[in-house]
Amino acid sequence: MSGVIKRIIVLGGGTAGWITAGILAKKHASHSAEQGIKVSLIESPDISVVGVGEGTWPTMRKTLAQLGISETQFMRECGATFKQASKFVNWITANNDVYYHPFTEPQGFNKIDPAPYWQSAVDATCSFSEAVSFQQYLCEHGLAPKTIANKEYEVIANYGYHLDAAKFITLLRKHCVSQLGVEHICDTVERIEQDTSGDINALQTKEHGMQKADLFVDCSGMRSVLLADTLKVPFVPCDDVFLADTALATQVPYIQADDPIACHTIATAQTAGWIWDIGLQQRRGVGYVYSSQHCSEDKARKTLAQYIGCETVEHAKKINFKPGHREVFWKNNCVAVGLAAGFLEPLEASALMLIETSANFIADQLPANTALMPLVAKRFNTMMLKKWRGVIDFLKLHYALSERTEPFWLQHRQSHSIPESLKELLALWRYRSPNEYDFTDSMEAFSAASYQYILYGVGFKSDFSQMKHIYKQSELAKKQLQMTQKRIEQLRYTLPTHRELINKVNTLGFSKL
């Protein structure tokens, strides 16, 4: 039998590094020198936080609870707010059109598919998400997803978070070191040593000497120092599917301290990309994701300034990226998490979700000894490749159904730009709605409900008439849609505004679970 895994080194101290180190340390008792596996994180003092990934999925609630971080502490220390949905503005025709992707599933989705029935059962001017979910109402009226009487991580409406990435990393670092036993090495890696099989033996650091381990987790960002530079794993570009390759990110203070805080990410389409708008407690995070082929940097800065309502955005940080991912994510004794594994674009906050998924798989499936590592690596690569392909299809769906006529948007709709897997699904959905048979793997990135929100949000028409004999549940569907409206009537009087709840979290805090 090959050696037992005794030490894991995580290279990189961003969000990916600290979440992965924390989950590994928690699962494998790193605080116990005798019984657990030692988890060390090497963080360069010279690399700053990119900090564009400020939106999370609802999965972050489980991650924080799993790490033992109080929700009250998290929200106070990270300037965090609640995220209930993504709101898409001007993605269809650029005529002030709007649709939502809420985090709460359609009412009664486990009982009946609302797609064949919603239009005949509600006001014709009502959108799909308005008809089937109460959450769009909450977002449009600035209401929070819970009350201060709810316990930590308890929900009334499903939610994730908006957070300050730099502050989040500071909290994770402090918690992982003091509470979970992660060894923190602040140093620069100067050399990487491999054996004849290609395995990484050790990282030579400038101040702390040689650091050996049995498993290395590459969280070194887009440089991918271990997986790409050292192990030569090729990059699979997706720039034929996603055209955006540049982002300008800036921070916008509120005009008044008590200004309302949006409880959703606002994604507003532009001629050559889209602008994200994320409300934190003290500021907004705003950025323009665009294609450098279709827009100059000067024009992009003017577009961003116009959106914000200022003359210039000279201090906006420019970030270049190439959409794509590594051919494999785990090779030999090295596995990549976060930007080292790949990046597509910030739409739908999928980057942090992929970090959480990767970290939990590595922790839960960590091999008992190094002989089993190739088997675990094979399973990880299969699972993550499927996850990435699911994300690619879902993000592309937002572009593929747009009716905008600028070159950027027209190019997104060209047939060769749409993955075959998505083309097949769209062909099926011409005559039926997305359902669980389209997404049979429990590890799928997005559910049928999420696809329905985007599909029918942009006005896609499924012709249910050819199979009308199977749609005989109009009364049940009507009852579920009525329940959505009843739920709105209940919650509109019981939920506080988003800003009110944030203020109460900061003064009173939630009670513990």
CATH of the domain spanning 7-54+164-239+325-383, picked from 3.30.450.20, 2.30.40.10, 2.60.120.10, 3.50.50.60: 3.50.50.60
Instruction: Name the region of 366 (left: φ>0; alpha: ψ -120 to 50; beta: rest).
Output: beta
Q: Does the pLDDT value for residue 50 go beyond 80? A: no
Tokens in use for 405?
């006529």
Average pLDDT of the chain to the nearest whole number? 94
Q: In the chain, what are the domain boundaries?
A: 7-54+164-239+325-383, 85-142+419-494, 246-320
Kindly state the average pLDDT of the residues 167-186. Answer: 97
Q: Which H or E element spans position 350?
A: helix 350-364
| pLDDT, tens only, 439-473 | 988 778 899 999 999 999 999 999 999 998 999 89
**Dihedral (CA of 53, 58, 61, 67) sign:** negative
C-beta of residue 129 within 8 angstroms of C-beta of residue 28: no
How many Å apart are CA 365 and CA 380, to the nearest integer? Answer: 9
pLDDT-above-70 percentage for the chain:
97
| pLDDT, tens only, 24-34 | 999 998 776 67
Output the pLDDT for position 373.
96
Q: Does the pLDDT value for residue 483 go beyond 70? A: yes
Question: Strand pairing of 7-11 and 215-218?
Answer: parallel
Looking at residue 131, its amino acid is A
How many Å apart are CA 483 and CA 489, to the nearest integer? Answer: 10
Question: Strand pairing of 317-320 and 215-218?
Answer: unpaired
Q: Is 428 helix (H, G, I), strand (E, B) or coil?
A: helix
Output the pLDDT for position 223.
94
Rounded to the nearest angstrom, the gap between the alpha carbon of residue 16 and the centroid of all alpha carbons in its chain is 12
C-beta of residue 187 within 8 angstroms of C-beta of residue 44: yes
Kindly state the average pLDDT of the residues 149-163. Answer: 97
Output the pLDDT for position 1.
41
Output the pLDDT for position 498.
98
Confidence of residue 124 (pLDDT cuts 50, 70, 90): low
pTM to 2 decimal places: 0.95
How many Å apart are CA 313 and CA 332, to the nearest integer? Answer: 45
How many Å apart are CA 451 and CA 262, to the nearest integer? Answer: 23
How many Å apart are CA 326 and CA 220, to the nearest integer? Answer: 14
Tokens in use for 199?
């395995």
What is the CA angle 127-397-385, rounded to 5? Answer: 135
| pLDDT, tens only, 59-80 | 999 999 999 999 999 999 999 9
| pLDDT, tens only, 76-105 | 999 999 999 999 999 999 999 999 999 999
How many Å apart are CA 460 and CA 91, to the nearest integer? Answer: 13
**Per-residue three-class SS string for 119-170:** HHHCCCCCCHHHHHCCHHHHHHCCECCCCCCCECCCCCCCCEEECCHHHHHH
Q: How many CB atoms lie within 10 A of CB 354?
A: 24
Rounded to the nearest angstrom, the gap between the alpha carbon of residue 290 and the centroid of all alpha carbons in its chain is 19
